[in-house]
Structure 1
Amino acid sequence: MGSRRYCVAVVQLDTGSDKADNLERVSRYIDEAVERGARLISLPEVMNFIGKSGDGEEPEPIPGPTAELLMEKARRHEVHIHGGSFSELNPEGGRPFNTTVMIDAHGAIVARYRKLHTFDVTLPDGTACRESARVHPGDEIVTAETELGRLGFAVCYDIRFPELFRLLALEGAQVLFTPANFTLPTGKDHWEPLLRARAIENGCYVVAAAQIGRKPRFVAYGGSMVIDPWGTVIARARETPGVTLAEIDLDFQEEVRARIPSLRNRRSDVYELRKRQAPPRRCPPSTRGPGAAPS
C-alpha cells in the first residue's frame, strides 16, 4: 500500500467538436494540476470530443491517440490519471463503448471500465431517448488496486444505480470516480444529492469531474466536486472550466467506516427480491419536477 494522504485534482471541461483543441486543453490542465501538487487527476465524461449529436463520437481503440496522450502525461509527471470517459472503438464492430481508463504513475493502463447503464426513456410527450442505440453498454464491474488505494469506476447515469456502488465498496473500493456530462435540469436537483448518498452509504470518497457549458443538445451542469466518506463536499469547482483540488485521506475513510459500519451490518441473508401483491393506493395530486432529461 502506498500513500494514505494525497492531493486529487478534478478537471472541469467545456469539451467541443475540435478534438485536437480539446486534447490540448486537457494537456494544459494536467500540467497545471501537477504544478499545484496533484498526484491523482480525474477528467470528465466525453472528455476528448462532443459532436453535433451531443454525444462522444469519433471512437478510438484503446490504446489509441487519446489514451496514449494520457499515458505519456502520467509517465512524464509520475502521476495517476483517471481518463474520464471517451468513445472506444468496439473491437467486434457495431456501437462503440463509453469507456474510462485508469493509468498509473508509470503510464500503464491498470483498469478499463465501460459504462454499464444507458439512458433509455420515453418522455410524456412521446419523445424517445435511446442512448443504447448509440452506445454499447459494458458488462463488468471494475475496481483497481493502486498505490493510492483501491479505486472503483462509474460513468454519469450510473450514479442512479446504488447497487453498482455497493458492489464496488464490497470489492474494497475506497475512492469512487463518477465522470459526467449531466444536464442542467437534472444536475441542479439530483447531482449533489446522489453523489453524497453514494459517498455516505458506502463510506467512500467520490471524485466527480463534469462537463460544463452549452452543448448541442443541452446545457451541461458542471458542479465538479470531491466528497468525503462522511458526505461532506470538500471541494467544488467554480462555474467555469478549470482545475479543483482536494485531499484524499484513507485513514479518515477507514475511521468513517468504523464509526458507521453499514457494510458489516448488511443482512445479505435476507436480501431477496420478492413479488408482493400491493393494494392500489389513492394519492393526492403532487407537484412534479420537469420531464426527464439525459443524465
Structure 2
Amino acid sequence: MIKATNQILPFQALALQIKAEVVNQANDRQEARGMIEQKIDRIAQQIAASKAFIGSNCKLVLLPEYFLTSFPMAESLTTWAKKACLEMTDPIYDRLGEIAQRNNIFLAGNAYELDPNFPKLYFQNCFVFDPSGNMVLRYRRLNWMFAPTPHDVWDKYLDCYGLEGVFPVAKTAISNLAAVASDEILFPEVTRCLGMRGAEILLHPTSEIYGQARSPKEAAKVSRPVENMMYVISANTAGIVNTSIPEVSVDGGSKILDYRGLILAETGQGESMAAYAEIDITVLRQYRRQVGMKNLLARQRWDAYTESYSQFYGYPANSMDSKVVERKHFIETQRATIE
C-alpha cells in the first residue's frame, strides 16, 4: 500500500454534471471531431465559471461518463473506433490538459480510447490530468457488457502494462487518486484492488438513471467508501442529447461521499455545479490509523479469500485476443459463463 507522509490541506472537489452530446449521427471522424471540439469549448467555460463561484480552493473537477461522445448504438466496434475514439496522444487530450493547467486543477473524466498495442479494439479510459496538464492516471474499464476490456485481451495486456497498469493509483499532491467507470461501482473487487494500492479518492464518472433512492448503484456508492475508507466522487450526466433515448433518462444525482458513506453534497437534475464539497485527506489518514471496529481496512483478512478466488472462474479472460468481434460475441460469452 502507498504510504503518504506529507500533510494535505483541505480542498474543494466538484462533480460537474453536464450534458453528453452524441456523435453517432456524424458521417465520419472529421465531423465527429468538430462536435467534440465544440463540446470542449463549452466545458472550458463551465469549469472556469464553476471554479470562480466555488473559489480558488477548488482543486479537483470530475466530468461524467460519455461527456465527449455519448456511447455506440448501432455502430460496430470498428466503426465506433474510427468515428469517436481518441488516440493515446490525442490533441483532444492536450486540450483537456490545457483546461486543467489554466484552472490549476486536477481534471478527471472518461473517454473512448484506442491503443496501438491492440489494433481495431478500443477501451473506455478514466483519466486524470494534473495542474501542469499531464495525464497522471489512465484506468481502462475492466467490466463492460458490449465492448472490449483489458480482461478480454488479458495476457497481452499484462505483458504491456502489468497488474499495476490494470489497477493504477496516482499519488498526487492532493491525494492518492483512482477511478472506476459507471456500473463498475457494483463490482466491489475493482475498488478493493485500488484500495489495496492506497487509493484515497475514488473517481466515478457515470451515466445512469437517477431518482431511485434504493437503486443498486446508489447502495454501492455508500458501500464502497465504507468498505475501503475512501472518498467517492460520482459525476452523472445531465442527460444525453440528440438521441432517440429520452434525454433525462440519465440525469441527476451527482454526489460526493466521505469515508463513512455520508453524502457531503448532491445535486438534482440538469446541468449543475452544486455537487461540490470539502475533501480533508489529513483527517481521512488519521481515521485510517485509528484502532477500533470502524477501521475495516486494518481488520480485513485478505489472505483468507485468495484460495477461493483462485478455485472459481466466471467470465473468461482472453475471449477476444485482439480479434475484431461483433456485439453478439458479448452475449454469447455471457451465456456460456452462466452455463
Question: TM range, normalised to the smaller chain?
Answer: 0.7 to 0.9
| Structure 1 residue 189, shift from structure 2 partner | 1.3
1:23 to 40, 53, 59: 40
Equivalence for 1:9:
14
| Residue equivalent to 2:188 | 162
Aligned-partner Cα distance in 2 for 1:66–1:201: 36
- For residue 257 of structure 2, the aligned residue among 216, 224, 227 is 227
CA contact (8 A) 1:230 1:256 kept: no
| Aligned residue identity for 1:236 | E
Q: Which residue does 1:85 correspond to in 2?
A: 110
Displacement of 1:186: 7.5
- Counterpart residue identity of residue 8, structure 1: A
Q: Deviations over 1:58-96 (max 9, x none)?
A: 1111231331111111122221111x1011123232221
Are residues 1:238 and 2:264 paired?
Answer: no
Percentage of identical aligned residues:
24
Q: Summarize the alignment of residues 138-157 of structure 1 with structure 2, pairs less than 5 Å apart.
A: 140-157=166-183
> Superposition pairs for residues 1-295 of structure 1, below 5 Å?
1=6, 3-17=8-22, 18-35=35-52, 36-37=54-55, 38-50=58-70, 53=73, 58-82=84-108, 84-91=109-116, 92-119=118-145, 131-132=146-147, 135-137=148-150, 140-184=166-210, 189-214=215-240, 216=243, 217=245, 219-243=249-273, 244-257=275-288, 258=290, 260-271=294-305, 272-273=307-308
1:54–1:12 Cα change, 3 Å: farther
Tell me how far 1:188 sits from its aligned partner. Answer: 6.4
- Kindly indicate whether the alpha-carbon contact (under 8 Å) linking 2:210 and 2:250 is maintained by their aligned counterparts in 1: yes
The whole-number CA distance in structure 2 between the counterparts of 1:247 and 1:71 is: 23
Contact 1:102 1:111 in 2 (8 A): yes
The 2-side partners of 1:71 and 1:100 are apart by 14
The aligned residue for residue 335 of structure 2 is none
Residues 186, 217 of structure 2: 8 Å contact kept: no
Which segments of 5 or more consecutive residues in structure 1 lack a partner in the other structure? 120-130, 277-295
Q: Is the 8 A contact 1:144 1:150 kept in 2?
A: yes
Q: In 1, distance between residues paired with 2:233 and 2:304? A: 32
Q: Name the amino acid aligned to 2:112.
A: S
Q: Answer whether contact 1:44 1:179 (CA < 8 A) is retained.
A: yes
Q: Distance in 2 between matches of 1:19 and 1:54?
A: 20
1:85 maps to amino acid: N
TM-aligned CA deviation for residue 167 of structure 1: 1.4
Q: Does structure 2 retain, via aligned residues, the 8 Å contact 1:7–1:248?
A: yes
SS at match of 2:276: strand
Whether the 8 Å CA contact 2:11–2:278 is kept in 1: the answer is yes
- Aligned residue for 1:85, secondary structure, equals strand
In structure 2, the residue matched to 1:126 is: none
CA contact (8 A) 1:118 1:137 kept: no
Are the aligned partners of 1:209 and 1:224 in contact in 2 as well (CA < 8 Å)?
yes
Aligned residues: 262
Deviation at 1:255, TM superposition (A): 3.7
Summarize the Cα distance change of 1:198–1:240 in structure 2 as closer, same or farther, 3 Å threshold: same
Compare 51-60 and 240-249 and name the one that shifted more. 51-60
Indicate the structure with greater strand content.
1
C-alpha distance 54-241 of structure 1, shift in aligned 2 (>3 A): farther
Q: Does the CA-based 8 Å contact 2:21-2:240 persist in structure 1?
A: no
CA contact (8 A) 1:188 1:221 kept: no
Q: What SS is found at the alignment partner of 1:61?
A: coil
- Aligned CA-pair RMSD: 2.5
State the alpha-carbon separation in 2 of the partners of residues 2 and 104 from structure 1: 18
State the shift of 1:187 in Å: 8.1
Q: SS of 2:107's equivalent?
A: strand
The ranges of structure 1 where at least 4 consecutive aligned residues each deviate by more than 6 angstroms after the TM superposition are: 185-188
Q: How far did residue 102 of structure 1 move?
A: 1.0
- After superposition, the Cα gap between the structure-2 partners of 1:16 and 1:170, relative to the gap in structure 1 and judged at 3 Å, is same
Quick check: 2:110–2:127 contact (8 Å CA) kept in 1?
Answer: yes
Mapped to 1, the partners of 2:88 and 2:196 lie a distance apart of 28
Counterparts of 1:154 and 1:240, CA distance in 2: 23
- 1:183 is displaced (CA, Å) by 3.5
Instruction: Give 1:109 deviation, angstroms.
Output: 1.0
| TM-score normalised over the length of structure 1 | 0.81
Where does residue 28 of structure 2 map in the other structure? none
Shift of 1:51: 5.8
